[in-house]
Amino acid sequence: MLSAQEISQHLDNVLEDSAFLGLPNSFRGKVRDRYDLGDKLVLVTTDRQSAFDRVLAAVPFKGQVLNQVSAFWFEHTRDIVPNHVIEVPDPNVTIAKKCDVFPVEFVMRAYLTGSTSTSIWKNYERGMRNYCGHELPDGMSKNQALESPLLTPTTKDDEHDELISAREIVDSGLIDAETWAVLADIAHALFARGQEIAAANGLILVDTKYEMGRDTDGRIVLIDEIHTPDSSRYWLADGYESRVAAGEEPDNIDKEFLRRWFAEHCDPYNDEQLPQAPPELVAELSHRYIRLYETITGAQFEPALDRPIRERMLSNLARFRA
C-alpha cells in the first residue's frame, strides 16, 4: 500500500474538475460530475473532498478509490439486483444506464450510532422511540447493535433529507406498496451481503444508503454508489466489543480528523474563504481511503500512475466525446 509519504509526491496530480472532457449536459455534485449523453450517463468521480456542505480539498486517488470500490460491490451484488453499470472505461469513470430514480434513499442501519440530525442515535438520545416506523426499546446505549438491521428511508432533497417511514411512503403515493416490498427486500439483501463480505475482511458495515430506479425496460436497478467510504460507515471489528464496553468509540478509518482540523481553524459553515488543508493531512486522508479500499475488497490498490490524469481520461473517454 502507498504510504502517506509516497502519496505526498502526487498532491498536484488530482482530479478537481472534469469540464476539460468537453462532454455535454453536465451536472456538478459535491464529489461527482455527471454528463447526460442521451441514452447513457458518464459519471466522473473526482478527488474533491466534501464536508460542511462545501469542498475542503482535493485528495489524491480518492476518486479512483470510490469508483473502484463501487465497481467491486456492483459486481458482487449483481445476483441480488441488476445495476446501472455499462462499463468502467477509466479508474475514475463509470458509464451508466439512465434510470427513472425512486424518490427516496434506502438507508440501512445495524447499530445505534451517528451524529447528524437524522441519525438514529441523535434521535434516540432526544427520546424518540419510533424511528422511521420502527419501535426501539428503552435502555439502549450509543454504538450498540440493533436487534436486527433496520431500513430507515429518507426523502431525497437537494437541501436536506427528511426521515420517513414505509407507511408514509406508501400512503403519500411516493412508491406503491407492492413495489416498496420488493425494494425493501433488495435493500436488506444488499446489506446482508455487505456485512458478510466486510466481516470476512475484518470490518463491520455499520450503516449505508442505497439508491434505486427503473431502467427503460422497467427493471429495478441499483444506481449511484454502493458501500463506499463516502456512503457507508465502517468500524474495525477487532476490539469493537471491548471499546464499546469501556464507553469508547469504535475504531474506524474515516475523514473525521480532517473535519476536526477545519472546525478548529475556521468557521467552515460561514467563512467565505477557508484555509488550505495542510498537505500532510491530505496525504494521510488519501492513505486512509486506500487502506479502506484494500480492507473492504481484500485486493491491493493499483494507483493509476502511468500518465497524468487529464491525458489518461481524454484518451479513455475519446469515443464518448465524438
The pLDDT of residue 141 is: 96
Domain membership of residue 200 (yes or no) is yes
Residue 88: domain span: 4-98+279-321
The pLDDT, as a whole number, for residue 53 is: 79
Does 64 reside within a domain?
yes
Same domain, 35 and 84: yes
pLDDT at 202 over 80: yes
Whether pLDDT at 6 is above 60? yes
Q: Residue 193, Cβ neighbours under 10 Å: how many?
A: 18
Angstrom distance (rounded) from CA 115 to CA 254: 14
What's the pLDDT score for residue 159? 57
82 and 93, same structural domain?
yes
Residue 104 resides in a domain: yes
CATH code at position 296: 3.30.200.20
Looking at the structure, do residues 18 and 79 belong to the same domain, yes or no? yes
Q: Average pLDDT of 254-266?
A: 85
Picking from 159, 179, 214, the residue at the C-terminal end of a domain is 214
**Short-list 259, 198, 254, 263, CA closest to 231:** 254
Q: Could you tell me if residue 120 is inside a domain?
A: yes
| Averaged pLDDT, 232-252 | 94
Asked whether the predicted pLDDT for residue 4 surpasses 80, the reply is: no
State whether 108 and 53 are in the same domain. Answer: no
> Would you state the pLDDT for residue 158?
59
pLDDT for residue 258: 84
Same domain as 104, residue 196 = yes
Regarding whether 83 and 106 lie in a shared domain, the answer is no
Residues 43, 18, single domain; the answer is yes
In a domain, residue 179? The reply is yes
29 found inside a domain: yes
- pTM, two decimals, is 0.92
Asked whether the predicted pLDDT for residue 164 surpasses 70, the reply is: yes
Q: 190 in a domain, yes or no?
A: yes
CATH number at residue 183: 3.30.470.20
105 and 84 assigned to the same domain:
no
Distant-in-sequence, close-in-space partners of 152: CB < 8 Å, separation ≥ 6: 107, 108, 109, 120, 131, 132, 134, 163
Is the same domain home to 8 and 46?
Answer: yes
The domain boundary, picked from 164, 184, 214, lies at 214
Write out pLDDT tens, residues 75-110. Answer: 999 999 999 999 999 999 999 999 999 999 999 999
Average pLDDT, the chain: 94
Cα dihedral 103/289/254/209 (nearest 10): 20
Q: Do 44 and 104 share a domain, yes or no?
A: no
End of a domain among 214, 230, 255? 214
Residues 125 and 83 in one domain: no
- Say how many domains are in the chain: 2
Domain-embedded: residue 232: no
Does 105 share its domain with 93?
no
